[in-house]
Structure 1
Amino acid sequence: MKTVTVTGPGTTAVVEADKPQAGPRDVLVRMRACGICGSDALYIHVGGIPPRQGATPLGHEPAGEVAEVGAEVDGLAVGDHVVINPMAAGDGIIGSGGAQGGLSEFVVIRDAVVGTHLITVPKHIPFEVVALNEPMAVATHGVNRAAPQPGDKAVVFGAGPIGLGAAIALKLRGVAHVVVVDIVPDRLAKALRVGADAVINSAEEDVAARLTELHGEAPKGVGVRGIKPATDIYLDAAGAPVVIETVLAAAKHGARLSIVAVHKKPVEVDFGAILTTELTITMAMGYPTEIFEVTPGLVANWEKYAEIVSDVIPYAEVQRALTLATAGKVVVSIP
């Protein structure tokens, strides 16, 4: 079979590999789609992940079709469409340093248990949407860390795939009003299509002032000076220092900030200045429980989630797909 592998710093190749064999407790999955993540660019740049430095299989956002089911595996049949938990693989994280990658023609799931390693999805959902399950689990974990309550008002910074997924998840959790902030008009238009109640172009508008117009003015708190928007949740999916600066200056008493973005440089925080706000700051990494929690919402709202996909690239052009990943949400279609 074919698989995409890091071959050295800055280089990848489609290589021939042995097709994995399924034992009685295993499931062989024919890959049908796999998303490209920004972390894939990092793996390529550094030349792979130990212990497979220089030979790291890529692809950790997989969706596929069951090709073989071991005799001791329950709850699956050949032809089922499935999404895989790449973190649960017994031979390492799929596509992130493990022995297998989702940008392959086949992946074998050892000791497969439905609900732990993989889960079925309806066959009418396009595979490129099913492949969003993993990044949308990341977005949902960021939302969960913010502890949204019905009726809350929220703002998401960054209208990339994670930010858009967070906006959808917030609405599904009953948040009353969700604003998305970005500087790219096309991304803001997409945010409205996935269900955001309003958008702000931060290159053209004062974010705090506009949030106050949209969410109202927060009650004055002890030691809190000036007008603050009544925004309950701030979610950072952008990773720019100015986002943190904006939130710290705007946050009302008792607001929550969830940071799911990767900040590549240190951000200075004056804790003395925000002490009286009692702002809750949480970090969100990966998806400890969300990998299949997100699936029912993805299935029920797949047309909204489909808006997140910017490009579907055939497997024959996978090298081009890897170069496009920073421009949007690229999914590789695998025949």
Structure 2
Amino acid sequence: MHAVYVTGPGTVAKLEVPRPTAGPRDILVKVRACGICGSDAFYTQIGGIPPRQGETPLGHEPAGEVVEVGAEVAGIPLGAHVVINPMVAPSGIIGNGGATGALASYLLIEDAVLGSSVAIVPDHIPFAVAALNEPMAVARHGVNRLEPKPTDKVVVFGAGPIGLGAAIGFKLRGVESVVVVDLIPARLETALEVGADAVINSAEEDVVARLVELHGNEPRRPGESRPGTDLYLDAAGAPVVIDTILKNAKHGAKLGIVAVHKKPVEVDFGSILSTELTIVMAMGYPTEIFEVTNDIIEHWERYAAIVSDQFSFDDVEEALATAATPGAADKVVVTFD
């Protein structure tokens, strides 16, 4: 079979490797779709995933079809369509430093347990949409960390895949208002398509003034203008986002950070002390990997809007290059015959 490996700094290759065989407690999945994450570009840039040396397998957002089932595996039938938890593989995180990656023709799931290592999705769900399960779990963890209530007014900064997934998550939790902020018009159109109540183009509009219009004004002192936004989610990773929120958050607001900030961000705790702002961080998906699956199944057409580009596995190098090029695509998914 073929699998994609980082072969050196800035280089990837599709290599021919032995097709695995399922043992008594394993299943073998024919990969039918695999999303490309921003981390894949980072791993390629640095030449692998520490502490592994040499060739490093890529891909951790798979969906596929079960083609072999070990004799001791329960509840996972042959032919089932599945999404996969890359975190629990005994040989290391799939596509994140482990021995296997999901940008491959087949993927061995060792010690396969339904509800822990895999979840079954109905056959009518497109594999490219099912492959969103892993990043949507990341988005859902960001939503869960903010503990939204139906009366909350929410702002999501960043309309990439995680921000869009979070916007859907907030709407499915029934919050009063979800506003999405970005500076790319096409992304904002997608935000409206997935259910955002309003969008703000930060390149053209005064974000704070627009939020006051949408969420009301809750100043701390006379003459001041502060949006009545209850929850802020940073899915952009830009220092200006944090600065804007800290300077304008109302008393008792919450800020969740799911974005990866590659440089330190300065925070003046003295200036925000009186706001009693709560700041929470969100990384990964401690419990959400299959929590989000049922929502994807029920609302798959809404989630489908997040997939911006699809490439055949024959063109996987082009897919990786496109995903790594700023502004070239939002969510790239590789599909397999």
Task: Report the TM-score, using the length of structure 2 for normalisation.
Answer: 0.97
1:214 alignment partner in structure 2? 214
2:334 alignment partner in structure 1? 332
2:292 alignment partner in structure 1? 294
Shift of 1:225: 7.5
1:202 alignment partner in structure 2? 202
Counterparts of 1:84-99 in structure 2 under 5 Å?
A: 84-99=84-99
Identity of paired residues, percent?
68
Q: Secondary structure at the match of 1:148?
A: coil
1:114 alignment partner in structure 2? 114
Counterparts of 1:294-333 in structure 2 under 5 Å?
A: 294-326=292-324, 327-333=329-335
Tell me the distance in 1 between the aligned counterparts of 2:94 and 2:223: 49
Tell me the distance in 2 between the aligned counterparts of 1:113 and 1:298: 21
**Cα deviation per residue 1:63-95 (whole Å; 9 max; x = unaligned)?**
010001111111111110000000011110000
Task: Report the TM-score, using the length of structure 1 for normalisation.
Answer: 0.97
**Cα deviation per residue 1:82-120 (whole Å; 9 max; x = unaligned)?**
000000111100001111100011111111110000010
2:257 alignment partner in structure 1? 259
2:272 alignment partner in structure 1? 274
Flag structure 2 segments of 5+ consecutive residues without an equivalent. Answer: none
Tell me the distance in 1 between the aligned counterparts of 2:133 and 2:151: 26
Tell me the distance in 1 between the aligned counterparts of 2:112 and 2:276: 45
Q: Secondary structure at the match of 1:239?
A: coil
Tell me the distance in 1 between the aligned counterparts of 2:52 and 2:204: 46
Structure 1 residues 224, 29: CA separation in 2 closer, same or farther (over 3 Å shift)?
A: farther
**Cα deviation per residue 1:299-325 (whole Å; 9 max; x = unaligned)?**
111001100001110000000000111
Shift of 1:37: 0.4
Contact 1:9 1:54 in 2 (8 A): no
Tell me the distance in 1 between the aligned counterparts of 2:308 and 2:125: 17
Correspondence 1:228 to 2:226? yes
Aligned residues: 333
Shift of 1:264: 1.1
Shift of 1:147: 1.1
1:137 alignment partner in structure 2? 137
Q: One-letter code of the match for 2:16? A: E
Q: Secondary structure at the match of 2:242?
A: helix
Flag structure 1 segments of 5+ consecutive residues without an equivalent. Answer: none
Shift of 1:224: 9.1
Tell me the distance in 2 between the aligned counterparts of 1:333 and 1:129: 11
Q: One-letter code of the match for 2:259? A: A
Correspondence 1:245 to 2:243? yes
Q: One-letter code of the match for 1:305? A: Y
Contact 1:224 1:276 in 2 (8 A): no
Correspondence 1:185 to 2:194? no
2:173 alignment partner in structure 1? 173
Tell me the distance in 2 between the aligned counterparts of 1:49 and 1:225: 52
Tell me the distance in 2 between the aligned counterparts of 1:201 and 1:49: 36
Shift of 1:329: 0.3
Tell me the distance in 1 between the aligned counterparts of 2:299 and 2:161: 15
Shift of 1:53: 2.4
1:12 alignment partner in structure 2? 12
Tell me the distance in 1 between the aligned counterparts of 2:223 and 2:22: 64
Shift of 1:174: 1.1
Counterparts of 1:138-153 in structure 2 under 5 Å?
A: 138-153=138-153
Shift of 1:334: 1.3
Tell me the distance in 1 between the aligned counterparts of 2:7 and 2:152: 48
Contact 1:224 1:253 in 2 (8 A): no
Tell me the distance in 2 between the aligned counterparts of 1:202 and 1:51: 40
1:157 alignment partner in structure 2? 157
Tell me the distance in 2 between the aligned counterparts of 1:51 and 1:255: 40
1:26 alignment partner in structure 2? 26
Shift of 1:49: 1.4
Runs of 4+ in 1 over 2 A off after TM superposition: 50-54
Tell me the distance in 2 between the aligned counterparts of 1:26 and 1:264: 38
Q: One-letter code of the match for 2:153? A: K
Q: Secondary structure at the match of 2:189?
A: helix
Q: One-letter code of the match for 2:102? A: G
**Cα deviation per residue 1:181-209 (whole Å; 9 max; x = unaligned)?**
00011110110000000000011111111
Q: One-letter code of the match for 1:233? A: L
Shift of 1:213: 0.4
Q: Secondary structure at the match of 2:66?
A: strand
* RMSD after superposition: 1.1
